Structure 1
Amino acid sequence: MNKYPWWKNALILVIVAFGLFYAAPNLYSPDPAIQISGESGGAIISEVELQKVTKALEAEGIEHFGESISEKGNSALVRLKDREQQLTAQRLIQRALGDGFIVALNLAPTTPDWLTAWGGQPMKLGLDLSGGVHFLLEVDTDSAIVGRQEFYSTGIKRALRQERIRGLVQLQDNGAIEGRFKSEELRDRAARVIRDEYAELQVTKTEEGEDYFLRAVIGEQTRKEIENYAVEQNLTTLRNRVNELGVSEPLVQRQGKSRIVVELPGIQDTAEAKRILGKTANLEFRLEARYDAPASDRQYFEFRSDRYGDAGAWLEKDIVITGERVSNAQAGFDQQTGQAQVNITLDSEGGTLMHRITRHNINRRLGVLFIERKTRTTYVETASGEEKVIKTPYDEKRIISLATIRDALGVQFRITGLDSPAEAAELALLLRAGALAAPIDFVEERTVGPSLGAENIKQGVLSVQIGLALVAAFMLLYYRVFGVAAVIALSVNIVLLIAVMSILSATLTLPGIAGIVLTVGMAVDANVLIFARIREELANRASPQQAISAGFDRAFVTIMDANITTLLVAIILYAVGTGPVKGFAVTLSIGIITSMFTALMGTRSIINLIYGGRRVNKLAI
């Protein structure tokens, strides 16, 4: 007799129930929504802001429902009736709230609480289906040039001081670094130092009366290299930040000279993504200026928090190091005060510079500047009566920490002065992912049009249904009762495939649907091998029970060999492929594993239930 022990049947039932439960969330379509959060990770959204939002939407007749503020209070979500109104609603809400808030498009899940309580979540859909966001970013390469000019200016001043060459070196408004010296010898020595330290600069010499001048400018080729580096560095940083967000199957690629495309399929918190991607969040470490320092060598900055009492402080223009020298950053708490802090680890060059400067400035104060790229929005009415939105980006630099240097600092130290643990965690994330080489601006933000996504989903589901129907018809006509068992196992296979993808938070793309269709064919292929083997055993005059047992046992090796080789190919595709290829490889890999379970165990369990408990003379195969 062919009978499974009770525990094997129980195991199969548990796995099938498990699959049905975790596949169920995919039956609930998400609602189009608008998500609101502050520009800072520690910002709080109150009922006052939420009332402004609802009034703005009601004034324009946009249907909405389910307004809610998150448990932490750092974001709010407004659900809409019509996805076509998302962009209009976003513009209205942004104007109602003004600057200081990030308003982003989102898709709000509708999975029941009893499912989510046990970890049930729907599959993420790729941008070619639905549920993603597309950003087009513009890199401000001019700021990269200005930053490099300031770097050269600071470096030249430091090099001349070390060589004891006295002269006045200043960065001009046109970007040129100009030096004035009292003698030709000093000027020539300075020129040699600059050429040795910064060979990429073009140095020219002039004379006026008793003063000797030199002028150092960035060459055109170097300028192009700086611009290209800024875009490539931002590309790397954005990829690191996207990885920190944990987005599946993201796309981050360069477009043209200074633009970057970011596509985040299946993302749940678009406001956080927009804030994390767009934030410059760089740091500058500067010594506090001496009281007798000339005005040309110092700058005044306000404090980011009022905990220091004063409105601001004067810092030297010379920068010790920037956030680009940070190799690691972790949020934490000060054990004495309990305040949020960020523990910083510098790279070797950054540690050397920090140690050199702090060693000679004990008991002076070191300021940490927090740099944010913000946008000032103004609304202007044109002559035709239409409203024009003008966004003006600007950099805000504020002091977050001003502490006295007690000992020479090295590779590791900490930054305090942050308002909340959320802000400390966000700053650590941004520094850990890497500083942006130049600020970026959001040129375009959109989600995939609902008609495109819906049509792709409709065609993809239809292809799976047609494939399943044709396979089911063939199996039922050709293998009869055994065909029924195969069709049931095939249906369970698709359910398990969807459940596993949901648990793993895998992103389903259009090529992924093609992988599911292929899995349907591969799953039934295993059953065909088993049934063909059973027929051969019957032709060799084996009894029905012996034929069933031999058919499953002897086909096992063949099925394992075929599926393992295909699985290896799928793994290679995932390892070396990108985008659509990975989406195909994911569904194919999972489908191979689930199809082996349903073909070898599921089908046999059903056949055993039909024929295993009794003596039979003939099989309906």
Structure 2
Amino acid sequence: MLFFSRSKILMICGAVLLGLLLAIPNVLSEERRDSMPGAFQRTINLGLDLQGGAHMLLEVDLSSILSQALVNERTAINDVIRRAEDRPRTEFVRVDDGTVLARMRTVEDADKALPLIQSLSQPIDPTQIGSAKTTRVVRETEKNIRVSITDENIEFIRKQTIQKSIGVLGRRIDPNGNLELILAPEGDRRILLQVPGAQNIDEIKERINQSANLSFHLVNEKDSGNEQALSVAMETGRVGAGDVYYPYSAEQGRGGLILQERTRITGDCLKNSSGGPHPDGAGAVVNFSFNVACATEFGRMTARNINKRFAVVLDKEIITAPNIRSAITGGSGYIEGGFTMESARDLSLLLNAGALPAKLTIVEERTVDPSLGADSIRAGKVASGIGLLGVAIFMWLSYGLRFGTIANMALATNIILIAGALSLFGSTLTLPGIAGIILTIGMAVDANVLIFERIREETFNGKTPINAIETGYKRSMAPILDANITTMIAAVTLYFVGSGPVRGFAVTLAIGIVMSVFTAVIFARLLTATWLRGKRPKTLPI
């Protein structure tokens, strides 16, 4: 137990030196940090409660997602019936009381339509055997077929919507990935958003409120050119089957157009977008490029509809509706809509981040003053200093100058290694995290106390110093590991069950446990063995 080979000594000293190098940037100025190698420029990130910022609780409007799923199902039913060789005749296919109702003209038509509609119900997860279906198809009467979304699919949609919303928000608010956002699900339909150090809260709220749903639709020239049909659509929203009415954006003026609802070209097709100057001179445009599949589809659509108009719709508003002069086969182009350079850049940022799958409502909003964080950091430093000094004095009084100093050196190394680990992982330190560090200071000497008490007991039993220390470390190993493993289980449980600040506490506690075992069992044993070989005492001063 007390023999250390040269390679072990180098590994232990190397680990301590690495931890020191990783911890040092936290006390250096920004200019000094920039001159260090990349891996050693990282510092501990301060959480919202320490450096201030924005705290928001967002609620996801799942009803709009389910409504859109029903609309998509209705469109799919119309498409599969329209493409059928022996086409069944329908009276109507419409969304009805949270379901899709298809009424056929005759019983024979219903017989033909039922297997076609059933074929649209697919497994939610095709990779799993026995996965639940997306829809439930029921023949209510001889002519009526009702389609509803299964409960399993609703739950799947809910989880997917939450996860996609979190991903989109992260890319919108922190496109460069340097703000250390906290984005986490909160309950069944809410998202917790914390932006440490946020300066412009209104800009964050504006980015949240924009859905950025982009789509390209062909214009229904017949109805859009009919003043009566256009007036009815504007006032009541009523349009023909397969069509939809969208108004112009504020920049385009009053009015709107009746468009074909069906489209395969949406914001999901975008490979990249960027703001830039208008190629013809004044103003700005949003340049875009499609992925391969959508570029091919866009080329076909424009080739088949030369001299017709197609509308670019953003968040259910028409931002432009140009004529198709020729087939656009390159998979790229630009959108013009009275943009300034700033608005074009903002729109391209939103489009690159992706569309929010559902509307988000801010149900709780708080702004944390940075001065509160400064007071908390100051109080944390004072508490840590007092705790560290109290523990050090206790160890000196209890185990003498030699062994007390070894325990205190191990404790100081433990704090350095915790800071280095937090910096390496880019962890965010919060008030509960500070509490975890202070708790670790008290717990870090537990292993030393167990070892030293065992050494003292072996010394009273008449063993030589070498045998007493050897036995003390050997027999203390099992209870030390048991105590720390049970605490680690609690920390891991807190991390996976908790969220936000609770996770911060769990992270610092878990790192503290690992480092305290290393410093007490390995590093302190190395110090003890080095002292023992150098002094070779006849009795132990403990």
Q: Which amino acid aligns with 2:17?
A: V
Q: Give SS of 1:417's match.
A: strand
**Residue in structure 2 matching 1:238, options 165, 168, 189:** 165
What is the distance in 1 between the residues matched to 2:505 and 2:459? 39
String of CA shifts for 1:471-495, please: whole Å, max 9, x gaps. 2232111111211221222122123
Q: Which amino acid aligns with 2:439?
A: L
Residue 569 of structure 1, CA deviation: 0.7
Paired residues of 2:219 and 2:310 also in contact (CA < 8 A): yes
Paired residues of 1:289 and 1:316 also in contact (CA < 8 A): yes
Paired residues of 2:45 and 2:429 also in contact (CA < 8 A): yes
Query: Taking structure 2 as the reference length, what is the TM-score of the superposition?
Result: 0.62
Q: Give SS of 1:447's match.
A: strand
String of CA shifts for 1:318-375, please: whole Å, max 9, x gaps. 2224759x5x975499xxxxx97555498xxxx9xx9999989863369573524xxx
> What residue in structure 2 maps to residue 565 of structure 1?
485
What is the distance in 1 between the residues matched to 2:299 and 2:250? 23
What is the distance in 2 between the residues matched to 1:136 and 1:370? 29
Q: Which amino acid aligns with 2:305?
A: R
> What residue in structure 2 maps to residue 501 of structure 1?
422
Paired residues of 1:342 and 1:424 also in contact (CA < 8 A): no
Q: Which amino acid aligns with 2:417?
A: L
Q: Residues 113 and 149 from structure 1, CA distance in 2 versus in 1: closer, same or farther, beyond 3 angstroms?
A: same
String of CA shifts for 1:87-144, please: whole Å, max 9, x gaps. xxxxxxxxxxxxxxxxxxxxxxxx5221245353443344455434212446678977
* Further displaced range: 581-590 or 462-471: 462-471
Q: Which amino acid aligns with 2:351?
A: L
> What residue in structure 1 maps to residue 280 of structure 2?
none
**Residue in structure 1 matching 2:31, options 89, 113, 117:** 113
Q: Residues 358 and 508 from structure 1, CA distance in 2 versus in 1: closer, same or farther, beyond 3 angstroms?
A: same
Paired residues of 1:249 and 1:507 also in contact (CA < 8 A): no
Paired residues of 2:89 and 2:109 also in contact (CA < 8 A): no
> What residue in structure 2 maps to residue 364 of structure 1?
305
Residue 455 of structure 1, CA deviation: 6.1
> What residue in structure 2 maps to residue 264 of structure 1?
194
Note if 1:519 corresponds to 2:440: yes
Paired residues of 2:214 and 2:313 also in contact (CA < 8 A): yes
String of CA shifts for 1:378-402, please: whole Å, max 9, x gaps. xxxxxxxxxxxxxxxxx54435997
What is the distance in 1 between the residues matched to 2:528 and 2:46? 36
Q: Paired residues, what number? A: 471
Paired residues of 1:125 and 1:507 also in contact (CA < 8 A): yes
What is the distance in 2 between the residues matched to 1:322 and 1:447? 39
What is the distance in 1 between the residues matched to 2:506 and 2:162? 26
Q: Which amino acid aligns with 2:18?
A: I
Note if 1:253 corresponds to 2:186: yes
Q: Which has the higher helix share?
A: 2
Q: Residues 304 and 368 from structure 1, CA distance in 2 versus in 1: closer, same or farther, beyond 3 angstroms?
A: farther
**Residue in structure 2 matching 1:21, options 14, 24, 27:** 24
Q: Residues 589 and 466 from structure 1, CA distance in 2 versus in 1: closer, same or farther, beyond 3 angstroms?
A: same
Q: Give SS of 1:250's match.
A: strand
> What residue in structure 2 maps to residue 477 of structure 1?
397
Q: Residues 254 and 273 from structure 1, CA distance in 2 versus in 1: closer, same or farther, beyond 3 angstroms?
A: farther
What is the distance in 2 between the residues matched to 1:16 and 1:406? 57
String of CA shifts for 1:276-299, please: whole Å, max 9, x gaps. 544312232423556897546687
> What residue in structure 2 maps to residue 11 of structure 1?
14
**Structure 2 spans left out of the alignment, 5+ residues:** 95-99, 118-134, 141-145, 227-238, 275-285, 336-340
Within a 5 Å distance, the mapping from 1:573-584 to structure 2 comes to 573=493, 576-579=496-499, 580-584=501-505
**Structure 1 spans left out of the alignment, 5+ residues:** 26-110, 172-176, 178-183, 204-217, 306-312, 334-338, 373-394, 408-412
Q: Residues 9 and 168 from structure 1, CA distance in 2 versus in 1: closer, same or farther, beyond 3 angstroms?
A: closer
Q: Which amino acid aligns with 1:316?
A: L
What is the distance in 2 between the residues matched to 1:266 and 1:447? 10
> What residue in structure 2 maps to residue 282 of structure 1?
213
What is the distance in 2 between the residues matched to 1:146 and 1:13? 58
What is the distance in 2 between the residues matched to 1:370 and 1:500? 48
RMSD: 6.0
Paired residues of 1:288 and 1:367 also in contact (CA < 8 A): yes
Query: Taking structure 1 as the reference length, what is the TM-score of the superposition?
Result: 0.55
Q: Which amino acid aligns with 2:429?
A: L
What is the distance in 1 between the residues matched to 2:297 and 2:181? 43
* Further displaced range: 491-500 or 264-273: 264-273
What is the distance in 2 between the residues matched to 1:555 and 1:423? 66
Within a 5 Å distance, the mapping from 1:413-562 to structure 2 comes to 416-417=333-334, 427-431=351-355, 435-436=356-357, 438-440=358-360, 442=362, 445-449=365-369, 453=373, 457=377, 460-461=380-381, 463-481=383-401, 482-544=403-465, 546-547=466-467, 550=470, 554=474, 557-558=477-478, 561-562=481-482
Paired residues of 1:241 and 1:277 also in contact (CA < 8 A): no
> What residue in structure 2 maps to residue 108 of structure 1?
none
Q: Which has the higher strand share?
A: 1
Q: Which amino acid aligns with 1:440?
A: L
What is the distance in 2 between the residues matched to 1:422 and 1:522? 50
Could you tell me the percent identity over the aligned residues?
A: 27
What is the distance in 1 between the residues matched to 2:271 and 2:535? 66
What is the distance in 1 between the residues matched to 2:168 and 2:105? 50
